[in-house]
Structure 1
Amino acid sequence: MSILSMPAPPPDRSVAYGAHADQLYDVRRPTGTPRDATVVVVHGGFWRPSYDRTHAGAQSEALAAHGFHVATIEYRRIPGDWPAMAADVLSSVGAVQDDPALPDRLVLLGHSAGGQLVTWASYQPEVRVVGVVSLAGCVDLHLTRDLGLGDGAAAALLGSAPEKVWRAADPALLGPPRTRVRLVHGAADDRVPVEVSESYQAAVGGGVPLQVLAGCGHFELIDPRSAYFPPTVAAVDAVLT
């Protein structure tokens, strides 16, 4: 069974951070030995409405089994409306920051397009997080566009936006990170090739660790059944220590 259709137990609660149906986050309490940290999971799907947080349920449940408090966010995915998506990511992270039932130490964890979103969010001054983990992330947005990944997903996201908007949305052009960032990428990823993470790493000065996993494809990083899932948990631990 693909991770995209793998069922997961329902969350402990869901919290709205806005009026739109996609403006909410799911909370899972630790089922393993509790840790004083909240992992904010941001799903991928090339920023398109056909993919939602459902496919991150098993990943989120597994993180809770490792003792993390988990907040899995949803956000509006409207082709061509980057401002709405960006606003939702910031609002949801802010709501998790202010949630009194969740630990204040936040790690942003994003896969694929979610990797771009969490890395971008960490540069915004209102976001207060301990660190960021990008899993097979589209962290160089211009390269994602130039390679035509996801059938032109980056171009569909930003449309005909002026270059200054592209630059402001592209983590690779925002300079050295404000917090700890770790990159994990599969060497055999045929959806978002590892050169995208390598390009971000080079653009920000090379001080960001990149773990390249031999034989690993795109979805194994979020699949708890995979031998490549433990490195994602280890990356979260690494930014917390």
Structure 2
Amino acid sequence: MSAHPTLAHLARLAELPSQDPAFYAHAYNNRALVPDHPEHMARWAADSALVRARVTFREGLGYGDPSSPQAESETLDYFPAVTSIDFARPPLLVFIHGGYFRSLDKSDHSFVATQLPRKGVSVAVVNYSLCPAVSVETIVRQVLQSVAWLYRQADLLGHDRDRIYIAGHSVGGHLVAMLMAALWPQLGDDLPADLIKGGVSISGLYDLEPLRRAAFLQTDLKLSEADVARLSPAYLKPATNAPFITAVGEIESSEFHRQNALIRAAWPDNVREDVPLPGRHHFNAMDDLAREGTPLLRAILAMVGAV
């Protein structure tokens, strides 16, 4: 368990480093910072297609109200564990993709299920609607709904509802933290307060104010000051002391490192490990999820008890 930070330390981390919107437009524009990002995103798609071609999985399961205007995007893909680590039902890892709330799709991220099902862990990859068609708050509600649905459908799908873990990349990491701060019994009488047993955030974002100041993002996100206050997990309390693992690429921008330090200081009773990602930028920070024996994969397997 980490030592509790001082309020002064938290305040320093929370203080925005610049008042110049151009600073945030640069620091958060990962595509500009990584000129060969199309190659990495094409690899995500190709590796994901290979996973879907090689395994039996359930595609496009609807977790929302079928009559909802967003029903088409309220879906997930489910990759069941193919080996068993014991005689119990397998744990479930729910993965939430990034894309600044406005791009990408679950089909780009099936590669997350490359190793985990072989290690006895079922994987669900969640879709959600995208800005500007919906608000960031709507996306948060959709992801909450998806995990509640997976809890309720555990018997049908075959995983252990008492071993649900979550992971995400970039704003997916933001959504992971929001799920860990969720008061689940307020969302449903059947939902336990400790529904989430642990979370992993890779290159996560925990204070949305810089996104509000980056014009190229704010055009679609349309965040208000009230949205930032309500939807920034660095300023919320985690619901339980469930373990929280962080990671950020060594060569990502200073802002991603500041965001990482901020949540680690704000949630000292939850943070268990900060996994180093040497030589990694924003688009290859997730590579080790799909590779045998990497520190990131080992940390996830240890968290879910699949070692």
Indicate the TM-score class for this superposition, using the shorter chain for normalisation.
0.7 to 0.9
Q: 2:296 aligns with which of 224, 232, 240?
A: 232
- The CA distance in 2 between the partners of 1:142 and 1:12, in whole Å, is 38
How many residues align? The count is 235
If asked which structure has higher relative contact order (CA below 8 Å, sep 6+), I would say 2
Once superposed, what is the RMSD of the aligned Cα atoms?
A: 2.7
Aligned to 1:174: 236
- In the alignment, structure 1 segments of 5+ residues that lack a partner are none
Q: Which has the higher helix share?
A: 2
CA distance in structure 1 between the partners assigned to 2:147 and 2:122 by the alignment:
14
TM-score by length of 2: 0.68
Q: Which residue among 245, 249, 252 is the counterpart of 1:186?
A: 249
Corresponding residue for residue 190 of structure 2? none
Alignment gaps of 5+ in structure 2: 1-38, 185-192
1:66 and 2:119 matched: yes
Select the residue among 86, 89, 103 that pairs with 2:160.
103
| 1:30-179 pair list within 5 angstroms | 30-34=81-85, 36-48=90-102, 50-79=103-132, 81-99=135-153, 100=155, 101-104=158-161, 105-126=163-184, 128-146=195-213, 148=214, 152-153=216-217, 155-156=218-219, 158-161=221-224, 163-176=225-238, 178=240, 179=242
TM, length-normalised to structure 1: 0.84
- Give the equivalent residue in structure 1 for 2:72: 21
Structure 1 220/177 Cα, relative in aligned 2: closer, same or farther at 3 Å?
farther
| Cα shift readout 1:95-127 (whole Å, capped 9, x = no counterpart) | 111121222101100011100011111111116
Percent identity for Structure 1 against Structure 2: 23
| Alpha-carbon distance between aligned partners in 2 of 1:219 and 1:229, rounded to the nearest angstrom | 20
Q: Name the CA distance, whole Å, in 1 between partners of 2:247 and 2:232.
A: 18
Are 1:41 and 1:70, in contact at CA under 8 Å, matched by a contact in 2?
yes
Larger radius of gyration: 2
Provide the residue aligned with 1:212 in structure 2.
276
